[in-house]
Structure 1
Amino acid sequence: MELDFERCYRAVDSRDQRFDGWFCTAVTSTGIYCRPSCPAMTPKRENVRFYPSAAAAQRAGFRACKRCRPDAAPGSPEWDVRADLVGRAMRLIGDGVVDREGVPGLASRLGYTERHLGRLLTAELGAGPLALARAQRAQTARILIETTDLGLAEIAFAAGFGSVRQFNDTILEVYAQAPSTLRERRTVTVGEPGTISLRLAYRSPLHAPALLDFLGTRALPGVEERDGTTYRRGLTLPHGSATVSLSPADRWVSATLRLSDVRDLAPAVARCRRLFDLDADPEAVDTTLGADPALAAMVRAEPGVRVPRAVDGFEMAVRAIVGQQVSVSGARTTLSRLIRPFSRSDTLVGFPTAAEVADLPDSAFGMPTARRETIRQLADAVADGKLDLNPGADREETVARLTDIPGIGLWTAGYVAMRAIGDPDVFLATDLAVRRGARALGLPDQVKTLSAYAERWRPWRSYALIRLWRAA
């Protein structure tokens, strides 16, 4: 991946937080790599190297800065936006697929050979899938060392390492400290067993009220809830269940995770970041949308509006089907009936899996027969592996396969692509609320003319969509 030295150096010299996550700054005289906004003295030009990822810097022999914690920077917005092979691979690596299924599993999901995948990732990021997963394991391990009382051997395997020796060697190489030393120097107060508290960084600005309003209005009782400035929900993760509390603050979101299995820390963090769209680049989005006079005032008044995403693609697809041509409150009522067999009175639970929904009796659906059969066919396709609704899925292929299911049209498929797969450039011109919002802003509200007008908002039409909904 080509990095312009002058542009990168100016970002480092000005300590520009907007570039955190885009690249790492390595200093040859100290052997340390940092995030661009590191408060340390700006290094001399001749001592600086720039790398597109922490894994590439580690591979080159540099260790992480103890002051700016470059491994805790927001993820690159490039992997959040791109729909190509590398972008899909990065989203799957972030979700822990390499730790669970190895590089063969990652390559199989993407439909390419391991060799071709490794070549592409190395060309773009300076490191292959194993090195990228290793960097993530090191970050997961550091969090567990500093925020839990788990034994170091337990942490090694929970973070995805194959052995305690590999764990010790990696932590020493990345952080220049043994795991035991990291634990001795921790300043974080350890909470209840199984509870992990951490901060999820993002690029400012973040319009938290818009995010919380959207999620709170659609919250399913028993699965999620909003309490003031805190959003809570249950999660179904690869190794077990979890609950999470997310509270936006200045420059980060405070997260409290209660995991039934600590091996799920990395995927839980990845899904929380995805849900709140924390890896987005709000400056780029708002610059494009704010250039339109019709949206300019709204962008100035509410900078940093995000697209609320999803922690579970199947859940989002079911919500989209149920929400067709009904109100938000009506959809919540129907969905509440659907998940009632899985609800608990003492805690929030994750949305039922595709296999669990497929096995429900007809009486559990509480909806017209045609819609029930659409959900059944969706559940069967996801459970059988014929339909991938994860962020690493091919967007065009997924939309095509969704619309092959009777009862799923372009609106539903587009909504799933936006919220479940993370497509930043979806526009639902047929949506009645979108057309009302357009009318309120003085924009054309006919489907064809509005679709044509929305072309000026590319590649951020999903973000324009959220703003039109707010205007409605």
Structure 2
Amino acid sequence: MVIDEEHAYRVCSARDARFDGCFIHAVRTTGIYCRPSCPAVTPKRRNSQFFLTAAAAQSAGFRACRRCLPDAVPGSPEWNLRADLAGRAMRLISDGIVERDGVTGLASRLGYSERHLTRVLTAELGAGPLALARAHRAHAARLLIETTELPFADIAFAAGFASVRQFNDTIRMVFASTPSDMRGRGKAPVGTPGRIVLRLPYRPPFDATGLLTHFRAHALPGVEEVTADSYARTLSLPHGEATVRLTFPADHVLCSLRLADVRDLGAAVARVRRLLDLDADPTSVDSFLGADPLIGPLVREVPGIRVAGSVDGAETLLRLVAPFAGVPLQIPDGALTHLYSAGDHPVTEALANGRLVVDVGRSIEDLTEELTPLAGPAVADEVAMRVLGAPDVLVLPKTARHLASHGPQWRPWRSYAGAHLTRKAATS
């Protein structure tokens, strides 16, 4: 993806928050990079430089703005639109695979050599996998510094750093600050001991009611709990079990996590963001679908609809095809008592022996081709939409299947058209 720098500069001059997370604005005279909506005085055009990722800005020697916190924004919707190698790699890096398995593990999951992967990411995004992972670690560290009272040594290893020295050096380079100074500036921890509470940003508008309606219709007792204004569930993460409780204030999602291992913070946040489709670009979706004679009235009635995603690819698939069998939590959390597990099914066996992998690193085409003979085309389509965030998969409720022939008119946002029709059917 190539940035139109003249358009990017106009966005920054207008401080348009809709583009926060889509690109980075760096200022040569100060050595600082910002989100597009940063309230600071806009620099002259000749002093502006633009990057696709914070990692690329950091690699070029820029440090993060203390005023606008450019890492505390929604992620780019580009990673769901792009099913190419760079997009798949970004999704896996956000899930923390480099911290767990190294660049070798990332390359293996994607089916390429480390050399080729590094070359592609550097050409496409301006930074290689190590730099992108370092930016991910810095973001996770900032969250832990500002929202917990954990010792800095514990935070360093929880965020994926190899040593305390590496942690301190990265914090100084990225944020031009020390961990102690950042903790002094951060807000006091919120909530009860043992929980990490975070504010998750998104691009408005945001249809939280539609997501709650979807979760309520599919909730599993013990695994999930849905109230009029909140959603909670158990999570199976790389280093242990967890629970998450989500509420929906006016301008963000309040996320309360209980983790067995704080090394899972980054993965938990990335998965919750995918579950709620928080990195979507509702303005683009609504402006396109709003002009359609069939979907337009629904879009105007419910702006900012989201497509409910997934916190675990295998779970999402198995919930569609296999009977439920829960595994008790080691420490129950109120009504949350079980992790998800499934009974016997050919898909269960394929997942267990590694013949089938369902995660955010898969391409839509490859995953659909593998799933269709095992579970059927309808299941394959829904898994692609919910697990990979594919925006152009048409999944219709029974009451609207007669509209399938109109599907081509909704490209490239058929997933959102289906979400509008499903939401309407659920509330009719």
TM-score, normalised on structure 2? 0.95
Distance 1:51 1:267 in 2: 24
Q: Quick check: 1:314 aligned with 2:314?
A: yes
Distance 2:328 2:71 in 1: 41
| Contact in 2 for aligned 1:207/1:306 (Cα 8 Å) | yes
Matched residue, 1:117:
117
Distance 2:18 2:337 in 1: 35
Matched residue, 1:144:
144
Matched residue, 1:182:
182
Q: Quick check: 1:291 aligned with 2:279?
A: no
Distance of aligned partners of 1:350 and 1:419 in 2 relative to their CA distance in 1, 3 Å threshold: farther
Identity between Structure 1 and Structure 2 (%)? 56
Matched residue, 2:230:
230
Distance 2:329 2:185 in 1: 42
Matched residue, 1:404:
373
Distance 1:343 1:402 in 2: 33
Distance 1:72 1:2 in 2: 23
> Secondary structure at 1:72's aligned position in 2?
coil
Matched residue, 2:340:
352
Distance 2:273 2:201 in 1: 9
Distance 1:301 1:229 in 2: 20
| Contact in 2 for aligned 1:21/1:76 (Cα 8 Å) | yes
Distance 2:95 2:275 in 1: 13
Distance 1:208 1:190 in 2: 22
Larger Rg: 1
Q: Quick check: 1:392 aligned with 2:361?
A: yes
Once the two structures are TM-superposed, the CA of residue 190 in structure 1 deviates from its matched residue by 4.9
Distance 2:190 2:420 in 1: 40
Matched residue, 2:419:
466
| Contact in 2 for aligned 1:222/1:344 (Cα 8 Å) | no
Once the two structures are TM-superposed, the CA of residue 343 in structure 1 deviates from its matched residue by 9.4
Give the AA of the match of 2:245: S
Distance 1:243 1:341 in 2: 13
Q: Quick check: 1:452 aligned with 2:419?
A: no
Distance of aligned partners of 1:204 and 1:192 in 2 relative to their CA distance in 1, 3 Å threshold: same
Once the two structures are TM-superposed, the CA of residue 136 in structure 1 deviates from its matched residue by 0.8
Distance 1:112 1:268 in 2: 26
> Secondary structure at 1:70's aligned position in 2?
coil
Distance 2:195 2:58 in 1: 30
| Contact in 2 for aligned 1:282/1:304 (Cα 8 Å) | yes
| Contact in 1 for aligned 2:290/2:296 (Cα 8 Å) | yes
Distance 2:132 2:320 in 1: 34
Distance 1:389 1:418 in 2: 12
> Secondary structure at 1:404's aligned position in 2?
helix
Distance 2:35 2:329 in 1: 43
Q: How many residues align?
A: 424
Q: Quick check: 1:267 aligned with 2:220?
A: no
List gaps (5 residues or longer) in structure 2.
Answer: none
Once the two structures are TM-superposed, the CA of residue 344 in structure 1 deviates from its matched residue by 7.6
Once the two structures are TM-superposed, the CA of residue 73 in structure 1 deviates from its matched residue by 1.0
Once the two structures are TM-superposed, the CA of residue 163 in structure 1 deviates from its matched residue by 0.8
Give the AA of the match of 2:320: A
Once the two structures are TM-superposed, the CA of residue 182 in structure 1 deviates from its matched residue by 1.4
Deviates more, 1:303-312 or 1:175-184: 175-184
TM-score, normalised on structure 1? 0.86
| Contact in 1 for aligned 2:212/2:229 (Cα 8 Å) | yes
Matched residue, 1:414:
381
| Contact in 2 for aligned 1:274/1:309 (Cα 8 Å) | yes
Once the two structures are TM-superposed, the CA of residue 188 in structure 1 deviates from its matched residue by 2.5
Query: CA-to-partner distance for each residue in 1:55-95, whole Å, 9 max, x for gaps?
Result: 01111111111111101111110002211111110100000
> Secondary structure at 2:205's aligned position in 1?
coil
Once the two structures are TM-superposed, the CA of residue 204 in structure 1 deviates from its matched residue by 0.8
1:60-459 to structure 2, matched below 5 A, reads: 60-322=60-322, 335=324, 338-339=325-326, 346-347=333-334, 348-349=336-337, 351-352=339-340, 357=342, 372=344, 375=345, 377-405=346-374, 408-428=375-395, 432-435=398-401, 445=402, 450-459=403-412
| Contact in 1 for aligned 2:147/2:189 (Cα 8 Å) | yes
Give the AA of the match of 1:352: Y
Once the two structures are TM-superposed, the CA of residue 452 in structure 1 deviates from its matched residue by 3.1
Once the two structures are TM-superposed, the CA of residue 428 in structure 1 deviates from its matched residue by 3.4
Give the AA of the match of 2:262: V
Distance 1:256 1:4 in 2: 38
List gaps (5 residues or longer) in structure 1.
Answer: 323-333, 358-364, 366-371, 436-444
Q: Quick check: 1:39 aligned with 2:39?
A: yes
